[in-house]
C-alpha cells in the first residue's frame, strides 16, 4: 500500500481551524516538491498565526532529533512572514541551509527591520556565512559585504542586543578590526558582553584567546561559565581538559552546564576523556544521560579521527579507504 500522504491533505489540515494539526503530518513537510512549495506559499497567510508559529518551532525540534529531515523550503516561505517571531523561527530553521541566496534578505533584516529581536536574529544568522567565506565557500565580495554590515551593526546599532549578536558572528571573521572590538567587550566585565565575547572567541579558531577563555571557566555567573566552557570546546583547548574532567567528576548540578562540559570534552579529547565517559555510562541509570554520553563518545571518536588525519596530513573528505594503508601503534597517540 502506498503510504504517501496527498499534500492537499496536509494543506487542509494546516488550514483547519477546528482541529489540531496532526504531529505525524510534520514529516510530510520535509523535502517538499516545487509544486507543493507553490501551494503552501499560496495558503501560508491563511494559516492561523499561532499555528504558523508553533509549526516552525515543531519543525526545528524535529531537525534537532533527525538531521536527515529538510525543512529549508518551509523556512524560506516563513522568512517572508510579516510576524516577527515567525521570521526569527524561520532563521533558526535555516541555520544550516548554507544558501548564499538568503544573505541579501538577512542583511536587509539587519539593516532595516524595526524589531530589535529580528535584527539580532539576522546578525546571528549571518555568522555561518562569515565562516563559509573564511573557508572560501562564499564569494569574497559577498563575505566583505556581510562583514561590513556586521561591523556597522556592532558599532552603531541602537540596540545593545543587536551589537552583541553582531560581535558573536564577527568572531568567525579574520578582519583586523574584530579583535579590538572583541577585547573591549571582554574587558567590560558586563555579563551579556562577556557572553558574547566568549562566544566570538570560540568562533575564532584562534588559540590566542585561550587564556581569556580558561580564566572564565569558573566564573560565578552561570551564563558566562556556559559560554566559556562552550568556547573551550570549540577551540579544543587542551589546557581546559583537566579542569573540565574535574567538573564532571565532582558532579555538576546544572543540567545545561553538565551537557556543555560533556560536549566540550568530546571536542577536546585526549587522556582520560574516553575513560571518564565510559565510567559515567556504567554509573548512570538515567537513559537521557546515557544517550548524552553515547553521543559524546561518538563525537569523541570523530574528533580523534580528525586529529589522526591531521597528524598524517590527510584530508578525510578527499580520501578513499584504498588510498592509503598505514600501520601504527595507537599507544603513540594521546587519545
pLDDT confidence band for 323 (50 / 70 / 90): very low
pLDDT of 334 > 70? The answer is no
- CA–centroid distance for 205 within its chain: 15
Cα–Cα distance for residue pair 245/242, rounded to 1 Å: 5
Give the CATH number for residue 258.
1.25.10.10
pLDDT confidence band for 5 (50 / 70 / 90): confident
Q: Residue 106: is it exposed, middle or buried by C-beta count within 10 angstroms (0-12/13-18/19+)?
A: buried
**291: in domain:** yes
pLDDT tens per residue across span 107-146: 999 999 999 999 999 999 999 999 999 999 999 999 999 9
Query: What's the number of domains the chain is made of?
Result: 1
Contact indicator for 87, 163 with CB cutoff of 8 Å: no
Mean of all residue pLDDT scores within the chain: 91
**266: in domain:** yes
pLDDT tens per residue across span 212-256: 999 999 999 999 999 999 999 999 999 999 999 999 988 788 999
Q: What is the pLDDT of residue 315?
A: 53
**16: in domain:** no
Q: Residue 300: is it exposed, middle or buried by C-beta count within 10 angstroms (0-12/13-18/19+)?
A: buried
pLDDT tens per residue across span 59-116: 999 999 998 999 999 999 999 999 999 999 999 999 999 999 999 999 999 999 999 9
Output the nine-digit C-alpha cell for 162. 543587536
pLDDT tens per residue across span 29-51: 999 999 999 999 999 999 999 99
Cα–Cα distance for residue pair 19/324, rounded to 1 Å: 59
Q: What is the pLDDT of residue 335?
A: 22
**What does DSSP assign to residue 6?**
P
Q: What is the pLDDT of residue 310?
A: 55
**248: in domain:** yes
Contact indicator for 81, 90 with CB cutoff of 8 Å: yes
What range does the domain containing 279 cover? 205-335
Q: What is the pLDDT of residue 252?
A: 81
**265: in domain:** yes
Contact indicator for 116, 124 with CB cutoff of 8 Å: no
Report the chain's C-alpha Rg in angstroms: 22
pLDDT confidence band for 332 (50 / 70 / 90): very low
Best mean pLDDT range from 249-253, 278-282, 331-335 = 278-282
**285: in domain:** yes
**316: in domain:** yes
Contact indicator for 142, 100 with CB cutoff of 8 Å: yes
pLDDT of 158 > 90? The answer is yes
Give backbone dihedrals phi and psi of 162, rounded to 5 degrees, phi first: -65, -40
Give the N- to C-terminal CA distance of the chain in Å, as an integer.
50
Residue percentage of the chain with pLDDT more than 70? 90
pLDDT of 311 > 90? The answer is no
**232: in domain:** yes
Contact indicator for 250, 241 with CB cutoff of 8 Å: no
Cα–Cα distance for residue pair 131/137, rounded to 1 Å: 9
Contact indicator for 93, 75 with CB cutoff of 8 Å: yes
Cα–Cα distance for residue pair 33/17, rounded to 1 Å: 25
Q: What is the pLDDT of residue 4?
A: 56
Q: Dihedral sign for Cα 111, 114, 120, 122, please.
A: negative
pLDDT confidence band for 308 (50 / 70 / 90): low
Amino acid at each position: 500500500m502506498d503510504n504517501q500522504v496527498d499534500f492537499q491533505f496536509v494543506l487542509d489540515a494546516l488550514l483547519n481551524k477546528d482541529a489540531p494539526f496532526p504531529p505525524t503530518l510534520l514529516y510530510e513537510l520535509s523535502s517538499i516538491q516545487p509544486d507543493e512549495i507553490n501551494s503552501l506559499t499560496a495558503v501560508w497567510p491563511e494559516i492561523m498565526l499561532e499555528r504558523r508559529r508553533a509549526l516552525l518551532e515543531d519543525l526545528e525540534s524535529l531537525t534537532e532529533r533527525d538531521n536527515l529531515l529538510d525543512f529549508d523550503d518551509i523556512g524560506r516561505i516563513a522568512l517572508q512572514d510579516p510576524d516577527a517571531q515567525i521570521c526569527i523561527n524561520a532563521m533558526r530553521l535555516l541555520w544550516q541551509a548554507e544558501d548564499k541566496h538568503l544573505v541579501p534578505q538577512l542583511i536587509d533584516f539587519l539593516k532595516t527591520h524595526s524589531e530589535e529581536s529580528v535584527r539580532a536574529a539576522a546578525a546571528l544568522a549571518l555568522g555561518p556565512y562569515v565562516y563559509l567565506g573564511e573557508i572560501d565557500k562564499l564569494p569574497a565580495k559577498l563575505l566583505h559585504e556581510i562583514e561590513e554590515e556586521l561591523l556597522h551593526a556592532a558599532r552603531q546599532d541602537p540596540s545593545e542586543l543587536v551589537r552583541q549578536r553582531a560581535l558573536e558572528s564577527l568572531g568567525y571573521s579574520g578582519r583586523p578590526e574584530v579583535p579590538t572590538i572583541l577585547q573591549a567587550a571582554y574587558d567590560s566585565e558586563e555579563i551579556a558582553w562577556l557572553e558574547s565575547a566568549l562566544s566570538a572567541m570560540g568562533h575564532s579558531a584562534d588559540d590566542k584567546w585561550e587564556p581569556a577563555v580558561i580564566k572564565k571557566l569558573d566564573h560565578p555567573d552561570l551564563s558566562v561559565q556556559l559560554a566559556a566552557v562552550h568556547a573551550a570546546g570549540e577551540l579544543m583547548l587542551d589546557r581546559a581538559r583537566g579542569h573540565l574532567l574535574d567538573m564532571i567528576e565532582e558532579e555538576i548540578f546544572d543540567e545545561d552546564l553538565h551537557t556543555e562540559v560533556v560536549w566540550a570534552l568530546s571536542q577536546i579529547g585526549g587522556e582520560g576523556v574516553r575513560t571518564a565517559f565510559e565510567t559515567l555510562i556504567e554509573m548512570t541509570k538515567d537513559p537521557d544521560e546515557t544517550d548524552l554520553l553515547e553521543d559524546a563518545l561518538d563525537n569523541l571518536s570523530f574528533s580523534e579521527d580528525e586529529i589522526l588525519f591531521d597528524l598524517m596530513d590527510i584530508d578525510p573528505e578527499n580520501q578513499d579507504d584504498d588510498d592509503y594503508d598505514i600501520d601504527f601503534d595507537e599507544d603513540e597517540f594521546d587519545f
